[in-house]
Structure 1
Amino acid sequence: MDHREFERQIKEYIRQDGRSQAAVARKLGYARDTFNKWVRFVNRMPDTVIFELCELLELGETQRTELLDLAGYATPSAALPTAKPAMKPAMKPPLQRPPRATHFVGREAALARLLDELQPGQAVTLCGPGGVGKTALAAQAVWSLAPDGEPPVRFPDGILFHSFYNQPESDLALEAFVRSYGEEPHPTPEAAARRILAGKRALLILDGAEDADDLARILAVRDSCAVLITSRQRKDAVDQWQMLSPLPPAEASALLQAWGGAWAADEAAVERLCMLVGGLPLALRLAGRFMAQQGWRVQDYLAWLEKTPLAALDQGRRRRESVPLLLQRSLAQVSQDAAEALAVIGRLALAPVSADLIATSLERDAFAVKRGLGELVDLGLLLTDGEHYEVSHALVYTFARSALTIDTVSLERLVRVLMTETTGSRLARERLSIMRRHTAALMDLLLTQQAWPLANELAASVIPSLHFQGYWTDLLVLAKGGLKASLELWDDAAAINHLYWLAVVYCDQGDYETAVNTCRRALADAQAAGLTDKEVHILSQIGFIYSQMSRHDEAIEYQHRAWQIARSSGDRDDEAMTLNQLGVAYLYLGRFRDALVHLEKALELCQPLNNAENQCTVLHNMGDVYRGMGAHESAIDVYRECLDLRAKVGYSSFEGITLSSLGRSLQEIGRHTEALDCHTTALQAVRNVGDRRNEGVALINLGCTYNALERYAESISVLEEGQAIAQEIGDLHNRSIGLVHLAVALQGLARDKEAHHALAEALSIANQTDSPGVQCLAEEKTAKLLRANQNFDGALQRVERGLSIAGTHALDAQSAALLVELSAIYQALGRIDAATEALDRALDILIPISDYASNRVRAQCSALRL
């Protein structure tokens, strides 16, 4: 075993491969810190990871055997299988290259300078007026760096592109970057982006930065990534920057002739036309496409242009006015279907849209609309991939939005089509990932036009689907818009709903104070309007928030108030769910019997109502209570009943959470292989729905099962990932639990000092959050660690402290576990009678709640009495 040589060899192989250590970790599917610790031999690298690493780096059997031997594993390398294990599916780095200009003329010096300045960690800005070719130059640089569909050597972690046009929120850009790497932007887009981009060498392209609401926030999280910014404003320039000017006469003429072909043969007319439009590349493209498509000679086009006011303007105003003028000329030649389709596109976001959505909105034949869209593509106003259509330039979009009109009926139809496309079925929810930008654009338009009823309805319709998919930034935009509309309408019920959803997102993001304040505002409005159903939901939400904050007494108080109002109102659904929430509040506090009483009442109310969704929720929580009590056989039965009901009714949104809990109970009764399967499936399920909090929980549960199997290195790996998530989102409760299980793994590897520190931190957090169950667990594991180090007095003090906490809070399962540990201490001291008495006390507690646990303790008692 040679740890230093192992580290040296690994680093040398990675260096020869040309990747960074972080890139290798990501390719293998492990957290960077976890992989680095394996390399440095802080933790042992598992055999399977060594196999995967050798596969990735294309190392031979000799190198693989050498690494395994250097790692010093108990299993000889000769006994290991020679077949290479399947690699984890690795996500290919994103390669979001903006469309390349069909004709790129001139700019050779600017391109060379840009390519030289685009380096990891650097920011480069291209400044200039709209239509001058900033995005075209940026695209040319990107395609020069990555011409073959693979990330460039300079930026091995990919290329990401985001346009701020019509979506100025910096959070949307951060969300887009996070999702590009297959992650979810939780707890906040900024925190997630900081996590995802850390250690990466990617190129971030920020187009239209003059519209960004907070460019500095994005630059602050870039770490080692390069940033290429395009902006019409010099003030957005960061580090190196270039000011682009219109093309000089020779290059402008060459560009127009490239677009116009044979129709732009007259050099004098070409030169005069280029001068009239100020050498602006976008204007030259529009003119050239028009001539080529409509069969106009450049002399004819020039003759028309000379009759416009453009000739009388100074050079600066010509550049500003030329594009709208040429767009008007182009639109004068297209069909009504084409013009109306462009008007619809102008009401949506600067994003792809299907022909079918436009046709339905206009109540036109789909074939006719597609033909009209084709006209716009021919003239260079739109781009298409054959299925979706998108405007070719931000100035074209601005023109469509400001100069073209759409009647009120068509606008309302467009909004309703979008609502239908994005709500209801699972397929509609999937469409939302594409359509959500259009909902935000429509909300902005409706608010501008003071179309309050439609804005209110759009928000109410789409918000639940946005929340389900975790699009929190989009949800905040719609909820705030809906709130403004509902206030204008004096619609109290709608305003309260929008406030409720705002509070839900603030809570999801861990901003509990803002969530509570928002709920209090909604509560006051509900009480003033006499809307008792709204009052119930808001009181319950406040209680839930307080539970997340570990303010358990206040949580119970608010849940109890919500239940009393629901019961008085006669709404059985609300009564059932407030009883459920009250049960959960007691569960968090460790008052399991109280929790079970309330949950059983909730289930009795749900069943006659045939509300399967609520039944699933209550059953899951009942399973958690049984598990907390140590009655794992009962918990398993309830969890399986919950999963069966979810499958029967197709309500599988929270399947991963139930699977994870089921795995914990299976592990507690020794069924470790089944538990491992549950946790692995659960982890994938919660990741699929972007549930960051429960991803952390699933990782902690997986680590706990690895501990039971004595696979301590793997346990530490997943527990560290779970710890990172819990710390990131402020989940103190699960962070303390994860620290206890991490201590167990560290002790298993004889790293007792680190284990002691982890337990001390866990106990500190548990005391801070008033979590008696975790306090007992930490005291028990600390006692075990002290006993192993023959500090028996310290171990006895820890057990006594834990028993006191467990007795105060009626935590039977925790009392039994502590008594078992007390027996082990007495055995180590040779006090067999005291050890037997402690086991008898534990057995008395366990017999009513767990056959498995009581049988194990009974066997220990029998062994002691022999």
Structure 2
Amino acid sequence: MGEHVPDMSNRFDGEAHTVFQARDVHGDVHTHYHVPERPVPPPRMVLPPPAHYTNNEPQLAKLDDILLRAGDGPCVAVIRGAPGSGRSSLATTWVHHHRDRYADGHLVVRLGGGGADRTREALRELLTWHGFAESQIPASLDGRVAVWQSFTAGKAIALIIDDAVLASQVVPLLPGPGPSAVLVVEAGQLRGLRARVSTAEVTIDPLSDDSARLLLGRMAGADRVAAEPDAVTTLVDLCGGSAAALCVVGAMLAEFPDRPIARLATKLARAERALPELSRDEDFSLTVVFDAAHDRLPPLAQRCYQVLGVHPGGGDVALDTVAAALGESPDEVDDALRVLLRAMLVVETTEDRYLVSGLIRQHARAAAGVNAESLRAAIVRHYHRRAVAASRAWMPRRGWFEAIWPNLDIGPGGFGEHTARRWMEAERANLRAAVEAAYRAGEHERVCQLGVALWPLHDQGKFADDMAATAEMGVAAARELGSDVGAAVLGCQLGFAYRQRERFDEAAERFAAAEEAARRSGSLEAEATAVESLGLVRLDQGRRAEAAELLGRNLALAERIGGERRLAMARFHLAKVEPVAEAVALLDLARAGLLASNGNEGYTLTKIALWRGRKLIEDPSRLAEAADALADAAAAADAGAWHLERAQVCTALADLALARGEPEVARTHLRDALDIYRLRGFTAQAAAVEARLAAE
């Protein structure tokens, strides 16, 4: 028999990327992955920049400073901006400007979600574009990183990493040492990137109005845009500086060159129409842009975003309001709002106050979906609770809450007089919006309570428009409830709104209607308030005898009702129609009564001092006393920032100067009053002073 030859074969079962087989190995084995199997020309994956690119020259210059610096590379820049601001276009434009500098490739990878899996796939794409065969690409993330960095070491590559959510996605994609440039378009929290790589940030600001008009002119025709400035302004305001929105609008205008721009402006200006209209093209949908930004937010940040979207009105929103609406701790909500701030979905207007506006606001509102109404209701409840507490702290002895809603329990407020005023002033626009939202929702009792609560803010701040709007809704809500006393109190507030505007006839009508409602209700307090208010407006109208009769009747009602504050107020107002001696005596009694009540009466005491000075001017022998009283009133009005009273003191000082024979001093005081009236928007009062200056 011959020698047996064993059956031998050279076979490998399973999968591997590189197999090394040898009988004997002497020395080290070196396996080289960094040479592609099929070398290809340097890939050019970056598209040309947009044809109408506008207004990012400062950002392009900053990218030059970051990416073209000498030294070890790669150089890395992070581009930040709101969704739709043109972050990707900035990166594309920069690469296009410097395309000759990066001879080894112009590359783009888009990440989004997906974490390590998406990064691993992006590395496969990068290696494939450079000619690596599938068999050369390791399966593991670490293996692919090693091949990519080895291959790109020393090369000049421009790489755009778009839609980057996490620093851990970005770091593995960075080329090896060399003159490469990396532009990272931020879409999430990349703060950790700076700790691992030397980076610098470039932020894209919203397009200015002039740049927005320039962009629309380039797309739709400069002459056409210049011919309809008002319509273009509407479109520019609507887009809020969003490059994406402006590009969509420009494309819509260019599509129909014969149509007036005003036609599109009117269509988009309708509430809730703009975002759907600007999202019809699936290839360039603003909704898709905003959806992507929303979907990658953490859950609590999404909920905060939705609260800001459904929040009534267009004002900025306090952190505490968002926390109250969600029932979450302020600390956790603060962290979530910082995420929104980093994503440039919101703006921090002042410390712990946030604003979302324009198209992003529309998207945030839509993102709330079925939760929108419950969130809005929670916001209104928060403002109602806080406003009632603040009102009680500001004017604790006004008494209408106890008289109309004796069982109202809103819990602890935590306000003092000054903190209550500051909170109400900061939330003024939101409080009016909350009343409007409650009224639309049919929450009539809440509307009435909010209307009563806002009296000190509107009266002392002289916010006549806000007072009129909230009181009008309050009267209507009270009538729906069948509450005559509520209609009387809020009807008086409505009358004072007209009185502040010096529309005295309309004010008198409201006060008369309030008196009728008060009589129907049987409330002597409400009747006295209406009678007093009507007496004051009759005095404004120059109907002095009627005013004296009404204000005297008010004092008689106050004596029947009792209560030191009501008596003090009745005496104060009656003094306005009495001769000097009687008036001064009444004013002194009123002042003593208010001081004895130990309430927060600084505002009313200021007005008493003002009227004391006015009345004393009528007696030539008491001008020195008048000067002292007006000096007290001026100091108190300045300290309290009661601007109407500040101006009224100036006019009273002018009267005092004339009584002393000092016309030039009088003119100086009148000019001071005019400056205050103009600055603070008291139009009717300013006109009266102007007429007086012209006549003297």
Could you tell me how far 1:396 is from its partner in structure 2? 1.4
1:136 and 2:239 matched:
yes
What is the CA–CA distance in structure 1 between the aligned matches of 2:320 and 2:575, rounded to whole Å? Answer: 49
Aligned match for 1:665, one of 641, 645, 656:
656
Tell me if 1:495 matches 2:494: no
Moved more, 335-344 or 525-534: 335-344
Who is 2:311 aligned against?
Answer: 347
What is the SS of the residue equivalent to 1:231? helix
| Deviation for aligned residue 1:676 | 6.6
1:633 to 617, 623, 639: 623
Are residues 246 and 676 of structure 1, via their aligned partners in 2, closer, same or farther at CA, if it must alter by over 3 Å?
closer
- Sort the Cα spacing of 1:228 and 1:581 in 2 relative to 1 into closer, same or farther, 3 A: farther
**Structure 1: distance between partners of 2:345 and 2:296:** 13
Aligned to 2:363: 396
RMSD of aligned Cα (Å) = 4.8
Provide the C-alpha distance between the structure 2 equivalents of 1:537 and 1:663, rounded to a whole number of angstroms: 32
Instruction: Give the secondary-structure state (helix, strand or coil) at the position aligned to 2:265.
Output: strand
Do the aligned residues in 2 keep the contact of 1:246 with 1:279 (CA within 8 Å)? no
**Matching residue of 1:231:** 266
Indicate which of 267, 284, 289 corresponds to 1:285: 289
Q: 1:493 to 1:234 in 2, by over 3 A?
A: closer
Aligned residue pair count: 445
Instruction: Tell me by how many angstroms 1:523 deviates.
Output: 0.6
User: Shift in Å at residue 458 of structure 1?
Assistant: 2.2
State the TM-score, normalizing by the size of structure 1: 0.43
Which one of 225, 231, 236 corresponds to residue 124 of structure 1? Answer: 231
Q: 1:352 Cα shift?
A: 2.6
8 Å CA contact retained: 2:609, 2:633: no
Aligned AA for 1:117? A
Residue 335 of structure 1 is matched in structure 2 by 299
In 2: Cα distance, 1:510 partner to 1:521 partner: 18
Instruction: Label 1:676 to 1:380 Cα distance change in 2 as closer, same or farther (>3 A).
Output: closer
Structure 1 CA distance for aligned equivalents of residues 296 and 385 of structure 2: 30
Q: How does 1:682-831 map to 2 (within 5 A)?
A: 682-684=673-675, 689-692=680-683, 694-695=685-686, 699=689, 722-723=690-691, 738=692, 742=694
- Structure 2 segments unaligned to the other structure (5+ residues): 1-205, 248-260, 395-416
Q: Percent same amino acid among aligned pairs?
A: 14
| C-alpha distance in structure 2 between counterparts of 1:682 and 1:545, whole Å | 22
Cα distance, 1:592–1:380 mapped onto 2, change above 3 Å: closer
Give 1:660 shift: 3.5
Match of 1:582 in 2: 574
Q: SS state of the match for residue 502, structure 2?
A: coil
- Alpha carbons of 1:429 and 1:648: their partners in 2 closer, same or farther (altered >3 Å)? closer
CA contact (8 A) 2:305 2:340 kept: no
Shift of 1:505: 0.8
Does residue 412 (structure 1) correspond to residue 381 (structure 2)? The answer is yes
Structure having greater relative contact order (Cα 8 Å, sep ≥ 6): 2
Evaluate the alpha carbon distance shift between residue 684 and residue 451 of structure 1 in structure 2; reply closer, same or farther with a 3 A threshold: same
**How many angstroms does 1:446 deviate by?**
1.9
Q: CA deviation at 1:553?
A: 2.1
Distance 1:409 1:118, change over 3 A: closer
User: 1:98–1:139: 8 Å Cα contact kept in structure 2?
Assistant: no
Partners in 2 of 1:449 and 1:686 — Cα distance? 37
Which of residues 324, 333, 337 in structure 2 aligns to 1:373?
Answer: 337
**What is the alpha-carbon distance in structure 1 between the residues aligned to residue 231 and residue 634 of structure 2?**
56
Q: Deviations 1:26-47 (Å, cap 9, x if unpaired)?
A: xxxxxxxxxxxxxxxxxxxxxx
Cα distance in 2 between the residues matched to 1:511 and 1:533 = 25
In structure 2, the residue matched to 1:266 is: none
Q: Distance in 2 between matches of 1:335 and 1:142?
A: 27
Maintained 8 Å contact 1:503/1:519: yes
1:190-210 Cα offsets, whole Å, 9 max, x none, are xxxxxxxxxxxxxxxxxxxxx
**Structure 1 gap ranges (5+):** 1-95, 145-225, 237-242, 248-273, 294-329, 700-721, 724-737, 745-866
AA paired with 2:363?
V
1:441 CA displacement? 2.6
CA 1:418–1:107: 2 relative to 1, 3 Å: farther
Over residues 282-332 of structure 1, what are the superposed CA-to-partner deviations in whole Å (9 max), with x where a residue is unaligned?
235336xx2xx6xxxxxxxxxxxxxxxxxxxxxxxxxxxxxxxxxxxx448
Instruction: Judge conservation of contact 1:546–1:552 (CA < 8 Å) in 2.
Output: yes
For residues 365-395 of structure 1, the C-alpha deviation after alignment (integer angstroms, 9 at most, x for no partner) is: 4443244335556777545568523145153
Q: Secondary structure at the match of 1:364?
A: coil
Q: Identify if the C-alpha distance between structure 1 residues 546 and 402 changes in structure 2 by more than 3 Å, giving closer, same or farther.
A: farther
Would you tell me which structure has more helix in proportion to its own residues? 1
**Kept in 2: contact 1:381–1:396 (CA 8 A):** no
Residues 212-250 of structure 1: per-residue CA shift (max 9 Å, x gap): xxxxxxxxxxxxxx99993327999xxxxxx99978xxx
TM-score computed with the length of structure 2 as normaliser = 0.53
Deviation at 1:398, TM superposition (A): 4.1
Structure 2 partner of 1:526: 518
8 Å CA contact 1:576, 1:601 repeated in 2:
yes
- Which residue of structure 2 aligns with residue 467 of structure 1? 459
Task: Give the AA of the match of 1:541.
Answer: S
State which structure, 1 or 2, has the greater radius of gyration over its C-alpha atoms: 2
Q: In the TM superposition, what is the alpha-carbon distance from 1:678 to its structure 2 partner?
A: 5.2
Distance 1:110 1:368 in 2: 46
Instruction: Write the distance in 2 (CA, Å) between the matches of 1:101 and 1:372.
Output: 33
Residues 338 and 375, structure 1, Cα contact 8 Å, conserved in 2: no
Alignment of 1:27-66 (within 5 A): none
- Summarize the Cα distance change of 1:143–1:404 in structure 2 as closer, same or farther, 3 Å threshold: closer
Deviation at 1:543, TM superposition (A): 1.2
CA 1:361–1:135: 2 relative to 1, 3 Å: closer
Which of 439, 451, 459 in structure 2 is aligned with 1:447?
A: 439
Cα distance in 2 for residues equivalent to 1:659 and 1:234: 45
